[in-house]
Amino acid sequence: MATGKFEFQIEPQFVDFQTKVKLSHLIDLILTASGYDADEKGFGIRHLHALGGTWVLSRFALEMSRFPKQYEKISIETWVQEVHTLNTIRNYRVYNDSGDVIGNSTSVWVMINLETRRPMELKLLEGIHDFATFQESGIDRPLKLDTVGGAPIDEFSIKYTDIDINQHVNTVHYLDWMVNSFSLDEHKANSIRRIDVNFMNEVVFGNQISVFKEEIEPNDFRFEATANGKTAFRGRLVFGG
């Protein structure tokens, strides 16, 4: 099948003080669906490791009409839109238990060499081009985000629990850096409607992180994090009522 669809339940340990799923956990489920689908199609992480490579996320965007709550069952549908020389576009659709669409997402992935950390050509993955559906995500592609100035709003170092199987900071932690910059009252008054993330340079154990934040329009926030002075990622978060 061109698309894969996977069911999940929102467990209590992954919701916030309003019993809504945390953004980082929702993204984790979306990325888990990616992994399941890629495994089924023969180009998952285990297959790439045999080639000396792995997948890394380059850009990501998500729009939600609402966030599912504790114990709610959701389904995440995913498919490959396009396959290029050095990256592939993968899209997602999030459904509630009634089958209604509550979210759409799109992402850009790159295969890198585990030793050199440089991109590898996707032609090494035999048959991956056959899965390109050319079906759009239903939302705008991830924005290319500009630098954010000013003084840092947070500073810390990367520790053991931040690091994943690829020996760099796991994707979901970047989302936490953004949402943790808001108070409980701000989260109570607003819901996240869209996020965009540009992953620019790997962040590894021991790096010193500085996070910057700027509100460019009402409820439209931009973020940047530097690792040892080098831009690691840029993000955007848009609140709705």
Would you state the structure tokens that stand for residue 17, as one six-digit string? 């003080």
Tell me the pTM.
0.93
Q: Looking at residue 165, what is its pLDDT?
A: 83
One digit per residue, pLDDT tens: the chain, 241 residues?
Answer: 689 999 999 999 999 999 999 999 999 999 999 999 999 999 999 999 999 999 999 999 999 999 999 999 999 999 999 999 999 999 999 999 999 999 999 999 999 999 999 999 999 998 999 999 999 999 999 999 999 989 999 999 999 999 988 888 988 999 999 999 999 999 999 999 999 999 999 999 999 999 999 999 999 999 999 999 899 999 999 998 5
CATH of segment(s) 143-241: 3.10.129.10
Q: Which helix (H) or strand (E) holds 208?
A: strand 208-217
1-142 has which fold?
A: Thiol Ester Dehydrase; Chain A (3.10.129)
The CA distance from 68 to 234, in Å, is: 26
Q: Looking at residue 167, what is its pLDDT?
A: 85
**Does residue 63 contact residue 41 with C-beta atoms inside 8 Å?**
no
Give Dmax (Cα) for the chain: 50
Would you state the structure tokens that stand for residue 204, as one six-digit string? 């590894």
- Are 1-142 and 143-241 in the same CATH fold? yes
Q: Looking at residue 241, what is its pLDDT?
A: 59
Query: What's the DSSP call for residue 129?
Result: G
CA angle 151, 152, 157 (to 5 degrees): 150
Q: In the chain, what are the domain boundaries?
A: 1-142, 143-241
The CA distance from 197 to 58, in Å, is: 8
